[in-house]
Amino acid sequence: MKSIKYRLTITISISALLSLLIAYIVINVTLNTRFDAYLQVNQQKRDERIISTFRENYSRDDVWYKTTGKAIEREAESSKFTVSLLDWNRTSVWQMDPVAIVEKERESNEDSTISMDQYVSYELPIKSENQIIGYVVIGQFSPLTMSSDDETFINSITVGILISAFIAIFVIIIIALIVARQLSDPIEKISNTAYSLSTGDLSARESIGTNVMEIETLRKSINDLGEKLERQDMLRKRLVSDVSHELRNPLNIFQTNLEAIIDGILPASPERLKSLNEEVIRFGKLIDNLNILKQFESESMVTKIVVLDMKKLLMDVYNNFQAIAREKNIKIKYDYPKKSDIYILGDKHSIYQVVTNLLHNALKFTPRNGSVRLRLSKDYEHCYIRIIDSGIGIPKDELPNVFERFYRVDKSREIIDGSGIGLTIVKNFVKIHGGTIKVESEVGKGTTFIIKFDLYES
């Protein structure tokens, strides 16, 4: 397997090389096309100049001589083309021998590729006052003739393009390495962090940021995942401890008292049996809560959705808590709109348990002579249930975790009894009803739970 740095470098380099190759081909073709057009124009001007010279000689002498236009012969030899002069009835006046030019060229340059196979010629008329007075035959060893200066020019441009291409290739490879490193290094670090998390090092984090948006998002996501995994691992460890503690306590009490009764050490009085029955009930409640969580996770929770009168349902809950509140000397109050009805679609048992769990917690964490308020309200689309207490409150940094299973703000379970499952059950019940729940709290002043459900309009 190849590293991302290697793949990026190769990909960028190949893409750049292909782009350079395409650019070189396009430039070369364009240059040659333009240069051929330039040579063709020059050749046409040369032909016109040769015809003009012959025309002027004829106009002066009024006859063709073997010396007419001989000056053009020297130019033709140096530029490697031939000129022949014919009179008006195509009889040769004088002509150049192309074979002589080939031989002379080979004598001066053994590597010359000029041959008679390449030789082509064409005939042009010489006119004076719209009458043909003769013909000139021009022959050359290629469709377009190039001078030594033309060859030097075109060769210098070609060499310049090649040198520029090699310099560009070198620069592109350097840039590809730099870009590949800038992109691959943070990805490699994030990959190492993810690997560390997968091997059990849940404290692994990547702290070095990058200015690439997607990679920075990936880095933050991996770090968030690490934090969640670390928190879940902490909760899992606490789960084992809490469940074992919650199960062990009632079992130990139950076993110890039964053994004492069996051995005759303690009498089986109604009070003692009642106390043992309370431990059994506590044990059963914990098992029931665990079963509810199991049903949520397996998505096997069965609900019976009906139209619920929230004013009546909350009044029933409120009445059931009167005795508990009076026993703890806590003032409990229920506020609701007197002149309007509030209905939702939901499972009566589930909604009842949600409010009951929250009121239990409110009474549990509110000291004597405190207050708990149950408030029902609505707007155009939603109904709101608020449970407000004047209890001990929850630290701000603990608020995001209160709905985690087996999470307890107070780590000492000896202070306030509880299993840490109730709020998890509440959140799941609210969620399956399409509602939301949030908590607001301040240490020493109290806590407010706010539940929102969609209204039902008949």
Q: Which range among 67-76, 106-115, 388-397 has the greatest average pLDDT? A: 388-397
Where residue 342 falls among pLDDT bands split at 50, 70, 90? very high
More confident residue, 289 or 378: 378
Residues spanned by CATH 1.10.287.130 within the chain?
Answer: 213-297
Where residue 370 falls among pLDDT bands split at 50, 70, 90? very high
When the pLDDT of each residue in the chain is averaged and rounded to a whole number, the result is: 81
The whole-number pLDDT of residue 125 equals 93
Residues spanned by CATH 3.30.450 within the chain?
Answer: 4-166
State the Cα angle at 211 between 205 and 216, rounded to 5°. Answer: 35
Q: Which two tokens stand for residue 410?
A: 């107070």
Q: Is 419 exposed, middle or buried (0-12, 13-18, 19+ CB in 10 A)?
A: buried
The whole-number pLDDT of residue 288 equals 65
How far apart CA 117 and CA 28 sit, in angstroms, is 27
The whole-number pLDDT of residue 135 equals 93
Q: Does the 4-166 domain belong in CATH 3.30.70?
A: no
Mean pLDDT of 179-183: 79
Q: Does the 305-454 domain belong in CATH 3.20.20.370?
A: no
How far apart CA 163 and CA 30 sit, in angstroms, is 18
Report the DSSP beta bridge partners of residue 331.
371
410 pLDDT higher than 70: no
3-state helix, strand, coil in the chain (%, to 5): 55, 15, 25
Mean pLDDT of 63-85: 84
344 pLDDT higher than 60: yes
Residues spanned by CATH 3.30.565.10 within the chain?
Answer: 305-454
Where residue 223 falls among pLDDT bands split at 50, 70, 90? confident
> If you search the block for the tokens 């043909």, which residue do you land on?
132
Q: Which of 167-181, 274-288, 290-304, 328-342 has the lowest mean pLDDT?
A: 290-304
Percent of the chain residues topping a pLDDT of 70 = 84
Where residue 240 falls among pLDDT bands split at 50, 70, 90? low
| Prediction pTM value | 0.45
Q: Can you state the angle between helices 310-320 and 348-364, rounded to 10 degrees?
A: 40
DSSP output for 98-150: HHHHHHHHHHH-TT----GGG-EEEEEEEEETTEEEEEEEEEESSSS---HHH
For the segment 34-52, what is each residue's pLDDT rounded down to a tens digit? 888 888 888 888 889 888 9
How far apart CA 48 and CA 127 sit, in angstroms, is 11
Where residue 273 falls among pLDDT bands split at 50, 70, 90? confident
Where residue 246 falls among pLDDT bands split at 50, 70, 90? low
Which amino acid is it at 254? F
C-alpha pair distances (Å), 225 with each of 194, 196, 205: 9, 12, 10
CB neighbours (10 Å) of residue 369?
Answer: 10
405 pLDDT higher than 60: no
Q: Does the 213-297 domain belong in CATH 1.10.1670.10?
A: no
